[in-house]
Amino acid sequence: MEYKCGYIAILGKPNAGKSTLVNCLVGEKVAIVSSKPQTTRNNILGIITKENYQLILVDTPGIHKSKNALDKFMMKNVRSAIGGANVILYLIDVTKKITDDEIEYIKNLKEKNQVPLVVCLSKIDLVKNENILLTISQLSSVKEIDDIVPISSYKNKNTTELLNTILNYLPPQKDKNFVFDDDYYTDKSLNFLVAEIIREKTLYYLEQEIPHGINVNIVNFEEKPNICIIEADIVCERDSHKSIIIGKNGSMLKTIGEKARLDIEKLVDKKVLLKLFVKTKKNWRDSENYLKEFGYKKEDL
Ligand SMILES: Nc1nc2c(ncn2[C@@H]2O[C@H](COP(=O)(O)OP(=O)(O)OP(=O)(O)O)[C@@H](O)[C@H]2O)c(=O)[nH]1
Ligand SMILES: [Mg+2]
């Protein structure tokens, strides 16, 4: 039997649908999703293992210009994912206009890295077929692109074709040298996943810049036979944000906590007691020390 195994860097602009695609392909929620750009901050592995292949999908932060130390960390993650990739999968939201800058970026990706480059048109459930064909013809003149696959993670459309396309670009190997055991579907710890679920709820319920300035730290995680007791700090950048996160008589914090608890209970498969505290660390996104303290490491693959 022949085997295939490799790292697939999932790249694209913020909000392109990268994390949704990774969750869809893996069949587990490894990465949080939101309608707000710059949701993902860390590289998150989503691992698919079958009898004869293992695909290690690397979900990355959306490519954007850095405004603070956290952004710089995020873009470093993108570079690190590119560096370790056997195939690059570049996602384009088919509902958005493709700019010349983006095409230049894609061409550069191929020229600099010389690995197979597959462009994936995402969210095709939102547009008519004519629009998809138009975008494909626009991109087909870009010789640096090896393949174009239109998909919808929501409708699970063309996702098998996408997996087969990726597999085509991985060289076959005689031995089953998989990187991860077959029961691993992510590289992230339970603490990380729980903190991300809480952050996802803040992204959903809070407006504008507030959720982007939030970090969630798990301060206590106690697993008992029938219940998990979890304490977490929601750290924000300003006192004015703190009062919005808490809400009138604590109503906002209560909503965030209740919704997060339901998801965490599914993850740990038992009852959860979730205690949330809101703290202010002024402009933490600009402080290397806070980033270190919050576990954002320099390099993250
Ligand atoms: N209609 C539709 N919406 C989608 C699809 N895939 C993703 N979305 C939506 O697009 C938005 C962004 O999705 P994410 O998966 O968080 O995007 P991302 O590329 O990971 O974004 P960042 O982490 O910010 O870089 C969310 O509101 C998703 O629900 C799809 O196939 N169809
Ligand atoms: Mg994401």
As a whole number, the mean pLDDT across the chain is 96
- Does 153 sit in the ligand 1 pocket, CB within 6 Å? yes
- Does 186 sit in the ligand 1 pocket, CB within 6 Å? no
At 208, is the pLDDT very low, low, confident or very high (cuts 50, 70, 90)? confident
Query: In which residue are the tokens 């994390």 written?
Result: 19
Indicate whether 204 pLDDT > 80.
Answer: yes
At 1, is the pLDDT very low, low, confident or very high (cuts 50, 70, 90)? confident
- Does 126 sit in the ligand 1 pocket, CB within 6 Å? yes
Q: Using one digit for the tens of pLDDT, what is the confidence trace for 28-75?
A: 999 999 999 999 999 999 999 999 999 999 999 999 999 999 999 999
Mutate which of 33, 57, 126 for ligand 1? The one with the most ligand atoms within 8 Å of its CB, which is: 33
Q: What is the CATH number of domain 190-293?
A: 3.30.300.20
Query: In which residue are the tokens 């998989």 written?
Result: 178
Is 11 in contact with 88 (CB distance < 8 Å)? yes
Q: Using one digit for the tens of pLDDT, what is the confidence trace for 93-120?
A: 999 999 999 999 999 999 999 999 999 9
pTM for the whole structure: 0.97
Q: Using one digit for the tens of pLDDT, what is the confidence trace for 127-165?
A: 999 999 999 999 999 999 999 999 999 999 999 999 999
Domains 4-168 and 190-293 share a fold: no
Q: What is the CATH number of domain 4-168?
A: 3.40.50.300
At 298, is the pLDDT very low, low, confident or very high (cuts 50, 70, 90)? low
Indicate whether 300 pLDDT > 60.
Answer: no
- Does 122 sit in the ligand 1 pocket, CB within 6 Å? yes
From the CA of 98, how far away is ligand 2's center (Å)?
A: 19
Indicate whether 301 pLDDT > 70.
Answer: no
pLDDT at position 223: 95
From the CA of 41, how far away is ligand 2's center (Å)?
A: 8
From the CA of 16, how far away is ligand 2's center (Å)?
A: 8
Q: Using one digit for the tens of pLDDT, what is the confidence trace for 221-268?
A: 999 999 999 999 999 999 999 999 999 999 999 999 999 999 999 999
The structural domains of the chain, with segments of one domain joined by +, span 4-168, 190-293
